[in-house]
Chains A and B, each alone.
Chain A
Amino acid sequence: MSKQYSYRRFHPGTQPAYDFPPYASTAKRHPKQPLVIAPQTLSEITGPVFGYGDLKPTDHDLTRQHKGEPIGERIICSGRVLDENGKSVPHTLIEVWQANAAGRYPHKSDRHDAPVDPNFSGAGRTLTDAEGRYRFITIRPGEYPWRNHYNAWRPAHIHFSLFGRAFLTRLVTQMYFPGDPLLPYDPMYMSIPDEKARLRLVSQLDWENTVPEHALAYRFDIVLRGSAATPMDDSPGE
């Protein structure tokens, strides 16, 4: 008997379709042929391992990357990375990027008429600790217009990129903010069919981690694919 990991398939409704007409750019950028369903091998259940040597100690603090402080509302964004079995995912790399408080990215493709902030680059990274916890310090990103359809606006969001334990647990997602009235109008957010699955991408105000006189905090837990069967066999369903 092989004890090799095998990861669960995604639960229906929790992932976006590749072809999603409300997000116009999917039209020419989705495969038209069905995906080839294949068994997981050592190539899929392994993946790159990163360590503290890959990072600088201040990489998790997006407010301390320049001489001055960025404009905007300072926030603390933290949470846990878990797998589908509720086990923490320790020492895994998280990369984040986001717009500044005015809703502008320091990127040549961003033509939005809003100021760039010389004290904010909008990129950070960290490793989860032994319990899968992570913490970023940043500023609350602004909403911004995009050209998907007439008068389209993105809700405030932070991009998250995670590796997890394996190449197939790779996840790129976006964290949203609670009570954002733009969410129901956003094709990217709405691309996730199941409402409960969508809500899991919305962070929660996190009183426990607020710092009085300094910063509000938001909690965002992320769940990566977990093993389908372990020697102890997990029960299916939620």
Chain B
Amino acid sequence: MSLYASGSQTVGPYLHIGLTWLNTDRIAGPGVKGERVTIHGRLLDGDGVGVGDGLVEIWQASATGKYAHPEDRQKKPLEKGFRGFGRIPTDAKGVFRFSTIKPGRVPGSGGKLQAPHLSVTVFMRGLLKQLSTRIYFPGDPANVQDPILKRVPAARRATLVARPKGRGVLQWNIVLQGKVETAFFDF
């Protein structure tokens, strides 16, 4: 039996009604191990204006590089109380902010380890199908060898690397159009 996946449709302007209940901007609770980090940024449209009705979802591994999912068969313990999922709506100025821990390295294709990263999905009115991208960590020596980052044209790779903004704070913007348009993936 073979079917085709259902068509995507926009979340529209009233997404909060259905989705707010699961808002999670503290991805790692107090007891979770790992290097603490707060990431903030803005979701910007083609005029550089903040998108006030956007939603960012995050998926990430634990500090040891283990996903809380049965398909992750690595022999590493699951960390209790760590789901690795975040859902953050943008505010009126397009700002989003969340706190988490820096994930460990997880395997990529061919068994090579990937650089630490967060998977990001973006939803908003005016977007008929979600956008997928990633956040990488500045200064991580694994970035240069990361098999997914290498797929991105060299001039655009910087759009996926967060910028340090003080101790434990990173900034990362999602830019939909223009000179520094964020690289989005088709997985």
* Residues 72-105 of chain A, each 1 if its beta carbon lies under 8 Å from chain B, else 0: 0000000000111110000000011101000001
CB of B84 within 8 Å of the partner chain: yes
Whether A36 and B109, one on each chain, are in contact in the complex, defined by CB atoms closer than 8 angstroms, is: no
Residue B172 lies at the interface, judged by CB distance under 8 Å to chain A: no
Contact B67 A44 (CB under 8 A): no
Interface residue B96 (Cβ < 8 Å from any Cβ of A): no
CB distance from B43 to the nearest CB of A (A): 9
A223 touches B21 (CB 8 A): no
How many residues of A are counted as interface, with CB atoms below 8 angstroms from the partner's CB atoms?
88
Known: A33-B183, A36-B151. A237 touches B15 (CB 8 A): no
User: Interface stretch among A177-185, A197-205, A210-218?
Assistant: A197-205
Q: Which residues of A contact B12 (CB under 8 A)?
A: 159
**For the complex, is B156 an interface residue (Cβ under 8 Å from A)?**
yes
Asked if A30 is an interface residue, CB under 8 A from chain B, the answer is yes
Q: Which residue of A lies closest to B114 (CB)?
A: A41
A143 → chain B closest CB, angstroms: 14
In angstroms, Cα B7 to Cα A234, docked, is 22
User: B148 near A38 (CB under 8 angstroms)?
Assistant: yes
Any chain A CB within 8 A of the CB of B158?
Answer: no
A36 with B5: in contact, given A5-B71, A42-B72, A123-B17 (CB under 8 Å)? no
User: In the complex, are the beta carbons of B187 and A29 less than 8 A apart?
Assistant: no
> Scoring B residues 35 to 76 as 1 if CB is less than 8 Å from chain A, else 0, what string do you get?
000000000011101010100010101000001111110000
- For window 140-189 of A, CB contacts with B under 8 Å fall at 159, 161, 165-168, 170-174, 188-189
Task: Select which of B2, B70, B108, B186 is within 8 A of A37 by beta carbon.
Answer: B186
Number of interface residues of B (CB under 8 A): 74
Answer whether A43 and B114 are a contact pair too, CB < 8 Å, given A11-B5, A223-B3: yes
Complex interface: chain B residues within 8 A of A168 (CB) = 132, 187
Known: A15-B8, A26-B128, A29-B176. A238 touches B187 (CB 8 A): no
Give the complex CA separation of A123 and B16 in angstroms.
Answer: 9
Would B128 and A44 count as touching, CB distance under 8 A?
A: no
* Interchain CB contact under 8 A, B117 and A43: yes
Give complex CA distance A173, B6 in Å: 8
B10, B72, B127, B156 — most chain A CB neighbours (10 Å): B10
In whole angstroms, what is the CA distance A167 to B132 when docked? 10
A238 and B128 contact, CB distance less than 8 A: no
Q: Are B9 and A174 in contact (CB under 8 A)?
A: yes
In the A-B complex, list the 5 residue pairs whose CB atoms are closest, starting with the nearest: A97-B18, A25-B126, A86-B1, A46-B69, A28-B46
Could you tell me which B residues sit within 8 Å of A by CB distance? 1-19, 21-22, 45-47, 49, 51, 53, 57, 59, 61, 67-72, 83-85, 106-109, 111, 114, 117, 119, 121, 123-132, 134, 147-148, 151-153, 156, 176-177, 181-187
- Given A38-B186, A45-B71, A225-B5, 7 other A-B residues pairs in contact with their CB atoms under 8 A: A25-B126, A31-B131, A43-B119, A46-B59, A84-B4, A122-B18, A159-B18
A selection of 21 A-B contacts at a CB cut-off of 8 Å is: A8-B5, A11-B5, A14-B4, A16-B7, A16-B9, A16-B128, A18-B127, A28-B46, A28-B49, A29-B46, A31-B184, A33-B181, A38-B148, A39-B108, A41-B106, A41-B107, A97-B15, A168-B187, A173-B6, A225-B5, A238-B2
